[in-house]
Amino acid sequence: MKTAPLPALIAVSALFIGRSLSIILTDPSQLQTTTYDYVIVGAGTSGLTLAARLSQDTTLNILVLEAGVSDENVESVMAPFLAPSVTPKTKYDWNYTVVPQAGMNHRIYDYPRGRLLGGTSSANYMVHQYGSNDNWDRMAKVTGDAGWAWNNMRRYVSQHETFVEPPHDKHNTTDEFTPDLHSYRGDVKISLYVHRQNIDSRVIETTKQLKEFPYNKDVSGIATDLLGVGYAQSTMTEGARVSSSTTYSRIVNTRPNLTVLINAMVTKLINTGISDGLMGFQRVEFTDGLTKTYMVEATKEVILSAGSIGTVQILQLSGIGDPADLDPLGIPVIVRSPKVGKNLQDHPLLPNVFSVTDGGSMDHILRSESEMTDAINEWRTKRTGFISNNIVNNLAFARVKPGFLEGQIDPAAGKLSPHYELIFVNYWLDPVHERPATGSYFTILTALLTPTSRGTVKIQSTNPFDAPLIDPNMLTTKWDLKVLRESVKAAKRFASAPAWNGYITGTMGKLSSETDEGLDDHARQNASTIFHPTSTASMSSYSSPDGVVNPDLTVKGTYGLRIVDLSVLPYIPSCHPQGPAYLIAERAADLLYTVHANDPDDLNPQYVLHY
């Protein structure tokens, strides 16, 4: 999600966050060696989590290469409400754009991905969920690996999360989450809101007035049911963002066996031989972004954690991919893998904006440089006020009515998986149109959670600095357009509840249309991305010729190469995917410990926390 820049952000300055890092290097010449046990490409959500787990074994020497910059001292990253200013068009973003979208009136829009320590966990909107049980169970079925089923994956929640209760503002959280579902001894801190918005009570009151929108006490996905309206759970604590960087840089700051090198962009992987018909890729070429290239080697494995866009780009530049994509560029095909860069899935996001009573929303504050400056100063000194909070406090998850499918196979993972989401924001939030100079607004963002459209990612040249061609191919199936249209109708029904009487005064743009055609026009013209790309290097069973990786995350046709990020998911989860990105890394650590131990029965439990 993205909105127009906040005027007072011009006054945002660096702020010391007070966290120490492991061995963070900025220059390749500082590396003490060029050989490591593991080389992890990408210090993002999954990459830093995996590095932290593996480095618990002090006999292992691990290098993490991050193309971006440090997140330390970056105020816009750490202040939760300022998340919309982190991307796009900043140095913390890869600054991708999509190719003209056939299903969206051939529009081009930004496609944000975090380019800094923590990756997109340092640039996203912090909403934290795990998805329904159905999502994980379907992955286990598709891959033939029961280890991906929820009854196995749930145990990783215990070491992953620490639910902070009470939250920073000490408000009463009774009925706002289910305590027994959560962990209080993990690493990543998660909290409820710390600043109440004036729409919160109206949202909750609507659940009492409209049976269509029941209240759900906990929408984390840890339980079986994600459906209903509930309070957002976010990766933030004490008024500041929590990311894989803020979490694991603290944990590993005494581990000399873990080195993180920033400003190190991987250009390709080098083939290191063949064994039993498999091609080895245990050498990594990278650049400092200037003129010089460097090489490092992994004695055990290279692990790609560069995300659903970056991982594909590196694979293709290395000669791993579809010959139809590589041959025209003159790249020798070392491993024929036709599914690399295919199967791109994402959640289309559509802003539905209502006008409200003058002064009722936050728009007047966001337009005022003086009020924003005061709010930011309050956050700097006290970590309180709305800057200490996420931009959203409430979310809703819903399925279409049973007759809606009309004989079509349901693309959802199961009957407890939602088809769409409503996100409630008390100001104008529109990725396509800037906030008007006057007026007060309420936005219900709707997101399609079960898309059937499939897109692609492919490089356009052999130059690693050229952005790949990203084609989400959104809204190109009847199902996708129809369900997004239904989500708009649901948003309008929600806003028509008595709870909104005296507040909402009208609709903006084509949201006022009463015809399907008009709402479809609204979707095609105004939808973009919630930036949840997945599945571009998707997992399949060991025997399947489809897919890019095996159930153990090894790249098919290779040895010494694994992928650990959201690109491996066969299907996009029907939730915000930050939680799954963390859990994938947790299981990957177990898989690696098991494979590379001399004798799994003799593994030191100090190092194998979850085996």
- Please enumerate, by residue number, every residue annotated as part of a binding site for FAD: 45-46, 120, 124-127, 266, 577-578
Closest CA to 413 of 399, 432, 401: 399
The CA distance from 539 to 571, in Å, is 9
Closest CA to 248 of 591, 589, 604: 589
Residues 6+ apart with CB under 8 A from 255: 22, 55, 58
**3-state SS, residue 190:** strand
The CA distance from 240 to 269, in Å, is 37
- Helix/strand/coil (H/E/C) assignment for every residue in 117-132: CCHHHHCCCCECCCCC
- Cα angle 118-583-459, degrees, rounded to a multiple of 5: 60
Would you name the residues annotated as active-site residues?
532, 576
Give the N- to C-terminal CA distance of the chain in Å, as an integer: 37
* Residue 82 identity (one-letter amino acid): L
Binding residues: 45-46, 120, 124-127, 266, 577-578
Closest CA to 443 of 483, 391, 486, 485: 391
The CA distance from 226 to 220, in Å, is 7
Angle (deg, nearest 10), helices 516-526 and 478-495: 100
The CA distance from 310 to 41, in Å, is 10
- Yes or no: say if 326 and 429 are a contact pair by the CB < 8 Å rule: no
Q: How far is CA 330 from CA 316, 324, 337, in A?
A: 11, 11, 16
- Helix/strand/coil (H/E/C) assignment for every residue in 463-510: CCCCCCEEECCCCCCHHHHHHHHHHHHHHHHHHCCHHHCCCEEEECHH
